[in-house]
Every structure is written in C-alpha cells, then in structure tokens.
Structure 1
Amino acid sequence: MLYLKEKELLPFMVPDALSASTHPLASVAPQTTPEQAWALAPLIAGEPSLRFGRWIGSRFQYPRPTHRAKITRRLPERAAAVMIHGADGRVATLCLDLDTSKALKEVVDADALRLGKLLQECGLAFIEDFSPSGGRHLYVPLRERLDGPAARELVEALALRSTSLDPSPHQNLSDGCIRVPGSRHKSGGYQTLITPLSVAYDYLRRRNPPLAVLALKAALAPELKRLQARKARQAKTASAQRTSAGLSLPPNAGGDSPLRRIARTGLYDTSRYKSPSEARMAVLNHFAACGWTREQVENELNGQFPGLAALYNSANKQKRLLALEWTKAQTYVSAAKPKTPASRSREQIALINNTSPTKLTGGAHTSSRRAIHQLVNDLENIVYAVLDHRLQARGREGLSLRLLMRGLLGYMRAKETDVLDVGCRTLAAAMGKHHVTIARLLPVLAKESDGIVTKIADARRKAADIYLVQLPEHFKQLARELTWRKGRVHAIRPVFRALGDSAALVYEAIERGRYSPTTADLVRLTGISRNATTKVLAEMEAMGMVRRTGRQWRTTSISLSGLAVRLGVLEEYQAQVSRNRRDRAAWHAYLDRFVDRTLEEIDMFDPDREDHWIPPDDESIWYAA
C-alpha cells in the first residue's frame, strides 16, 4: 500500500466533493470507464489477490481457488472480487455492501444517503459505486489497518442502523471479498463508480485517520452496546444448549415480527401478499392493532421502517394514500375483534360462587382525580426522603424495590386511583424484569414501605392481587413540609432495560434534581457506590444522554425512545409482551375448563386431577411479537 511522506500528512479534511458521492446516479462521471475504475482495486483490497465468481447450483459464489490470482492492471474478463482481509487478518478498507436482496432498491438508496451522512459527520471520506442490480458499495479507506474483529464489529453496528447492509464480507476472515469499481457483474454490466475518479484516488492515497474512526465508534455507541448484549445472550444460550440437550431455539426466536420485517425491508412473501398494497395494509393493520398513531407511523417512515415508505414507490403516492389506508386499518382492527363462542357462552352464565370484588354503588367516598395526583406528589417526597434511604441497605435488591415503588406510583397517576390490581406480568413488562422477580419483590416492598403499600386482597381466578397505596398518618407532616419535584416519576423507561437499574436512578437524580449535581452529589443522593456511579455516567455520556459542564452533570435533549430503538430493547419488550399474552391465554384456557360444566358428585374431588396451573417454561418457549 502506498502512503504519502510523513511531513505531507496534514489533518484530514473532507472536501466538498464528498457530498457528491451520495447524489443521485445521474451525477456519475461519464468519463470513468470500467478499466479506469479498476485501477482502484489494489488500493481497496486487503491483499493483492482476487477470486473469480461462477454459478454453483442456483447461487453465484466466489469459491476458494487452488492458486491465488493476483490483481493486475488489466480488467478481468469475468466477474471478480478482491479480498477484504490481509494475510494477518486485518483490513485496509471498510467495505459496506448495501444489497437489494436484503431490502428494496428505495431502501438501499435511503440507507446509502443515511450512511453517507453519518460518515461525513464523523469526518470519514468514502468512495461509492453501484451495481446493475441496484445495490450500492461504500468503501472507507483506513490509514491504519484495523484488526478483523474490530472491523467486523463496526460493520455489524452499521448494519443495525441500515437494513440493507450485508455485513457478511467482514464476517469471514478467510473468504470475505467484494466486487470493486469497474469489476464485471454476474448479470452483465459493471460496478459503476459514482465518486469522481480523481477524488476517489485522492481518498485512497491519503486515507482516513484513526481519530475519525474513533469518532465513528463514538457515534455507534448504542449499536456497539447492543451487539455486546446480543453476544452475551448467544453465549448464554449456547451454554444452556450444551447443558440441556432438549433445549433448542426455533427460527425467529428473537421476537422479530414478520410484519415489522416487511416494514423495515419492503420485501414480502408474494405467495401471501399479491401486491405491495396488500403488504402495506397488512403492516398498517399491525401497527393499528398495536395502538400506534398515524403520526408515529409517519415519523418512523424515515427512521426504523423505510421499507414501508418504499412500498408506496413515491413520496406523492405515500402522501396521497397513507391517510386513507390508515383510516381503513383502524376500521378493520376495530371490527376484527369478534367474540368467540366460548366468550359468548360465558356471558350468559352466572357463576354460583361469584368471587369478584363487589363494585361500589355510588354511596362510598371515592378520591377525586386531583386528590390522586396530589397524593402521588406527596408520596414521591416520602419515597425520596425516607423510603429510598431505607431500601439502600438491601443492596441490589433495594435498587429493584425502589424502581418498583416508582412503577406503582406511575400506575397510580395513569389510572388515577389508589387501589391497584396490576398483575405481576404487567409490572414485569414495564420494568424489564421477569414476572417471578416481581412476584417476589411485591411482598417485600409491602413489608418495607412502612404502611405505604398494603395488600388488601389476594389474586383470584383472572384477577390479580389488589394493593392499596396510601400516605400513612406519620408521614403526612413530612410530606407537607417538602416541596414537590418537577417532572414525572418513571419506573424503567425502555432505554434503561439495556443500561440497568443503577443508570435509571442516576439519570433520574440528574433529571429531577433541584440543581445540577456533581458526581459526589449523585453518590450521596442515589446511595450507589462511586465506582458504579462513575461507570454509568461514562456510559450515558458516551451515548449522549448526559453531559458534564465543569463538575456538574446535566441531561441532554436526546430522544430516549429513539435511543431505545437503537439499543434494540423495544424488540425485547415486544417479545415479553407477546409472551405475557400467551401466558394469560394459557391460564384463561385452564380456568375455562371449570366453566360451562354441570356439577356432579365426581367433580367435587378428583385425586387424579391437577388443581394448580403449572406456568410454561420461559427458558424453552419463545414467542414472536
């Protein structure tokens, strides 16, 4: 690889011509011939060798040859790809392959624009070409070669932001290869260079400095953390599979909905949907059934669901049809909830022993909406002033108990009642924990809350345990003396399902503090150790959630929901909600076995019958959202 002399290495500045590489294909320099573009091949490749492609069965592949072919100045007469990794496993160029087999061409073009903007913001120069099939390649030359695993991690993180990006060339150290500008295509034609040849040659000679690569890593901090969490889960699953021979994960075990995959890629099963309009309506029906609004759908068309926008073919058609189709989707969802025969029959039957709680007739006193909100504000003061400090002594369990208490206050404010009949699975989905953990924590919280949380009724049939949340008499004077805090109380917002309980409490202390706290203030306020506090602060600062001004910490205006999408926690949340739905269905089906039956003497006691419900094994049953 050729480099400039040491004295000629100046701080790398991205020229104005860089933005031209992401313009429409009409800006391709007509004077760049395939032979001229092929001259860039040795500057892109990780080693000076190539492979020739051929059809093997129904797939076009680049098999490993008996003898390596060297890259020469002459353009190969058949399809060829250069090797990405060198003999030492390192790469000289990040090769981003945007493939139309993974998403529609409109999604590929949108991903190319989005990736180009990201690279440009990080100070990285890149070269771009396109193939006759509509795919795009982005090449990011590196001044210092990257180890194969580090390059793979970066490309996989970029793939989480771009649906059409295929990371497989960087996932194979021995066989990873890519077609470069000028090379022939399997279907005829050539890889056409979009970046002007002189500019591309300049980028490949000067290359990108390590500081720009570090800037890209910082911009991809949420995606890199998501990859680490995924690898940890895969390692845990592999370990479980080794210890349990019968445990295996079915396809689509990650909770990836087929309809949401259509919304991301625009690709759909033609045997199920005959046209793009049918696929669009299926996706819109899905979002309407999930409680989305039209504004939320429109916001995500340029975000995580570009495939849905691509199914409209044009912006004008999207603007004209989206409102009409969304109205149809809402009408369909509202009408597509017929009562099952079993539910209709249950409505006509009055149970002999009705164990449901008696409803008030209007004579009893009920708290007003304003009184409930005032009660929650007073309880927040007691939680911050007394209960948090009491629960700090319980260590890690205390963190979960403190957040569970905040979750109950959040439900009080949302339901505007001090009597809560929220099930463990609902609380578990809100807090990102297992429902067994919530079932274990609730009695502990009721015991440690000093009368704030009291259980007043046990679960019965389809009804959950009922808890009364109140302000005890001995706390009323303290609650009146303390001023209310700004903002809303939260249990676990989706982003903290990935960052952890400690991060949630530290962020809350910054967000709802009466002043901008220092690190020492956060340690004192949250009761979390200094090492743990420093660690979560550094992690949140890397993701742009908080910033440090002098010694004080402040929150930023970053969207926590958008960050949660990038971290992938919404997929986990959808899988947990779907699993809870299936669990409830199984439990209700079990209860229905004892309804609509004539009571006989043998039914009063049967020693061979299971009188308790055995919950399904969460480790071996997976549900798609």
Structure 2
Amino acid sequence: MRLSPDGGRTFPRYRGGRLFERQLQDRLPSQPATIPTCDPETGMSRLLAADFDVHKAQALHAPDPHSLVAAQAADFAALIARCGGRAILDGSPSGGRHVYVLWQRPLPHAELNHLALALARRYSTCDPGPMSSPFGQIRPPGAPHKTHRGRLTGWMHLLIPLDQALQAVNHPCGAQTWNRLMQELEAELAATAPIIRTGPGLPEDLLDCSLDDSGVPWLPQSGGRRPIRRHLEQIAVHGTWRRHSYPSASHARQAIVNSAAAAGWRLEDLVEAMATRRWPWLARAYAKYSPTQQHLRLHTEWQKALAGIAEYRSERNGHTREKPSTRGGAPPSAPSMLITRWPRPLQSKAFSQQPDSYEAYQRIRIWLNAVIIAENDPQRRKRWGRRLLSVRKVLRALGAAAQMGGGLEPHFGVRSLSLMTGLGWSCVARVLQLLREEPAADRLIDLTREHHGTQADHYTLTIPAPYRHEALWRRWRAGNIEIIHPGLWDLAAGAAFVYQALLPSVETTTREVIRLAGIGSTAGHRALQELAAHGLADKGAHGWRRGTVTLDDVAERTGTTARRQQWMELYREQRRQWHEVLTSRQAAAQAHRNEPCGQRPIELLLQDGPPGHHGDPASLAGQPPAPPAEFTSALQLLRRELGAVILRTVQQWTPTRATAAQTDGHQPILGSDEKGPAP
C-alpha cells in the first residue's frame, strides 16, 4: 500500500528521498492509503476497479450529483450480477463510490484498461484513472479518506454486508461473467477499439455490425437497448395506423423491425416480444405465413433493416441520397457492413486479418468460433443429421486436445477422444471419418497423416473459407474448452451443452438456456428436467441455475465413473496387444532379412511350384503344374506397384479349396510393411 504525504491529495511512491510504500498490515493505517490495481512487473491484474466520482457529476451540472453517482454505481453492480458475477461496493465520505470486481485469473492490464474506458463511456461519472496505468492506485474499503486541518474526514466504508463481500472475494468472477460483460458493453468497447476494414471501398463512417451468440447480426447501442418509437409500439400492439404514413401492412411491419434494429435490439428480442404476446399484431402479421416462411421472412426483413440503416448512416453527410425502402421483402443491394473493430486486442502489436498471424492459442479460439458458426449453419446441421450432438462433442474434444498440446494438430487417438466425450471409440472414428470426408472448402479438420505404427491419425484444425471472416469477427471465448464430464454421459441428449449454459448463481430463462445450448426446444426441456432430477439444475423464480450436486457425485451414482475406468483398462490392454503385434512383426522382418538365401526371384519361385514338395511326385499328383494365373498376376502386380519381395516362410499357401486339402506347403508372404489401426 502507499501512504499519502499530503493528506490524501497524492500518493507517490517516492518524494523527497522518502519511500511511502509499505507492506499491508493487520491494523488500519493512520493516514490516507491506497493499494495497487495492477502488478507493474507482470502487467497483469485480477482486479477491475470502477471509480464513480462526484466531481465528474458536478462538472455535468447534475441537479443531485451524489444521487447520480450512487445510481450509476448501483447500476454497474447490477450489471455484474446479471452477467453472473459478484461485486464489492464501497463509498467515501464525499459521496463517491467504488465498485470492485475480482477475477479468477490474472488478466492483461490492456484488457482491463479497455474495459474501464468502455465503462467511462457508458457511465458519465466513471473515472477510468485507477485502471489507466499499470501503476494505478485506489483507496480500498477501510482506508482513511483524507485529512483536513490535521483531522481525518472519515473512512472508505462498505455499502454491502460483510458476508457478501467475503463471498465476492472467495468466489471471484470467471470466464462466463467476462464473456457476458463483453457482450453487454459491445458498443462501448467497439467505440474505443482499433478498426480493421474487411471490404474494399468502404465509407469512412460506415456502420459497425456485431454478431450475437447465434451468429445473427445486430447493432449494439451505447447504454444498452432502447425502446422503439412509441407510435410504432402502438402499431405492434393494436395494428392501427394512419394510411398516409404506411400504405400497407408490410410497410408498417418493416417500420417496426427497422426501429427495433436501430434501437439496439437483437433478433431474438424481437421474436420473444411476439412469442410472449407483448406485440400481438406483429405476431399475427407473421402468422399468416407457414413456419418455414415465417423464419425466412423475419430474417430477410431483419437483414434489410440492418442494410437500410447502414446505407442511411453512410450517406447522411452526402449532398443527395435516395430514401431507403420501408416495404417488407427482400433487401435491396446495399454497401457492405463488414467493417469490424477488434474489441480487445491481446497484444500491443496490431493484428492482421489472417489467422496464421496469430499465436497458436489465439488461432484455436478463432477455430472454435468457426465451430460455433458451423453448429448453427442449417445446411451443415442437415448434413450431420442424427450425429449432430456426437460431432459437437468430438469437435470440442479436438479443440481441448489442441489446447493441451499448444498447437493446431491434436495428437490424440480415437480412444483418448472417447474418454473425453463419453462416446465409444468406434463412434468417434465414424465421426472423424464424416468430418474429414466433407467438401474440402467446408472442412473443420484435415487429415494430414494417416496412422502408422503406434502413431494415430494426425489432424489439423482448419477454418472453412465461408466462415473465415465471421470467425475473425467474433469475440474469442475465454477459458479452457470444456469436454464432456462422465457425470453427463448417461443423461438426456444435449444435457451436457445445457449444463454448460447454466450459471452457478444467476438464474437464466429457459428460452435463453436452450438458445445458448444450441439444441431444439423439446430436447432442451427434457435435458433441463433430467438435470433437475439429478440435482444438477435448480429452477428459481426467474429461471434456471446450476444445482448444488457435483458432477462427480452424479458420475458415481450413475456408474459412469466405473465405466470410464473400465474403458481406460480396456484401451490400455488393447494398446499393449497392438504394441506386441508391432514388435513381433518387426522381429520377423528382421529375421528374414538376416537369412542369406531367404529371397528368390519371383520367376524361379513360380517355376518351383508349392514349396516343400520338390522330389516327391506323389505329393504333386492331381495338382496343377503351376499356381493359377490370377495368383501369378496378383504377385506381379504387387511387385511392380508396391515393390513386394517374396519370402519363403511359414504361412500356409491355399490357392484353392481343392489344392488346400492336398498340400501342406507354405504360403509366400509379402515383405512390404503392413499397417493396422493405431489405438
């Protein structure tokens, strides 16, 4: 901690040859003190400190600066709670507020500074100063505030119960909280990030466009989603409007969609408003179409709304422009909206658009984005068919294996992947075959080397060309790629993905859980019911959250722990047997190479006839004088194409059933290397 030499105005490390930095002690300091917000040596921190300052509120001429500061600090703390995390809130005698968010892992200071700048853009009283430098300082709860005329003005005091503060310290926020917070602050983060252009000839002020978790574009707005225009909301509810404003129902319907898109709504928000009967007329306006046409019509008009807004905003500074169409239907040709901003660069150097310029772990993140896009691609889902869930499990296992190896080539065989997915090794092999036999432009994995000896097939994670731009555009998901825990092996289809979508302390609506899991409605409800039956999910007043029962307990109760152990022992024995086969083959090959007369030209061998019967005419009675022509042709073909060598060895030669009963000779075997499946 640092002590202030001037009553709390500044907190230098050195001044006048004196060191004002001290070790933390059990007792409170007697003068104003601060703690660092970051480790300057590593540039990493587990603390995000948001400082809501009364002076900034006064500079805005707010009628009640203290109330404004308190309201914005409380709003940010509520935002952290909605994202699934916990925050610590304290106050100063002057009316200021601090909100502290602790993270499970140290994060780069550049990312935390970027986040602080985004918060300052959303909250007018938020000062990003404590996070603006790796040497930043902030007064913690319990620290003396300031001294005035030799007297202490007070202390920083907690504004939440002590047990809640201890819970926040003992259970810091994880990757899911970080990801949700990034999505909530999408617009603010984009406004402070460097721009990467991805299309030729794009206007300077062309609209930014982001993607939600389902891959659908939307337009995030500073401050979050806003209500649509009042008269349009009345139309969405009652279906009445002035004909001179909207000449037809399709015009009115498109106007509602346009307003929702411009106000920062996602397409799923619009669907929810119709499904919950908040907008009954709009729901009826789409209900006249078949379910398939409804889906197509809604997505078409949503994309048209985004394109129209982009065209309008990109041309608003021009001298002339055409009025954008407001009628429903197919969107007109519009300028590309593919201008993206990297929301949080992980390094100081600028990134290029090619995945090859990233570090290995970053390229794995981009590949995972491509996997998520593929899982929501209707054509690919149809191609995968009933193996969809198995394919998703295997792909995540490959991603986890790549993370373990630190590269894009996971060196895991089908049996190792089996233990990571809960699928049998033969099922994993069929899924890998399905993935590697997809069209070359759509492959998520490429077979770079087939199995040989003890080495399994080698695959490389690849990003399909149709998904490349969108995969680069999306945010990277933090944390390790999750594999399927044995406790979820025997539960309903999709239960593993539903469980991963649940949060431990924040309730999520059923609809949102199913959307995040990426499965159908029926399967999602069945999975939630089964998870609840095992204590892995609890339903509260506002939705679902993770239960208190651990996955290890469920695995023990359902017997999957024992099954996994049996599989491990079986696979270990299969590997041992395979290694013995390889060793015996190598020994036999070496023995044949050591025999001086072990090889004969193929022409002489064919003239000799079956080996072991020379000089015994009786044994050759009733046999043809030479092997069949097909056998001879096959041997010659193998020698010419594969370089085979004939060895006189111990295996029985049975060219036909008739001759097999009359001979006890030996079959020539090929001296070329044989390959079998690697465990």
TM bin, normalised by shorter chain, reads 0.3 to 0.5
TM-score, normalised via structure 2 length = 0.33
Larger radius of gyration: 2
TM-score, normalised via structure 1 length = 0.36
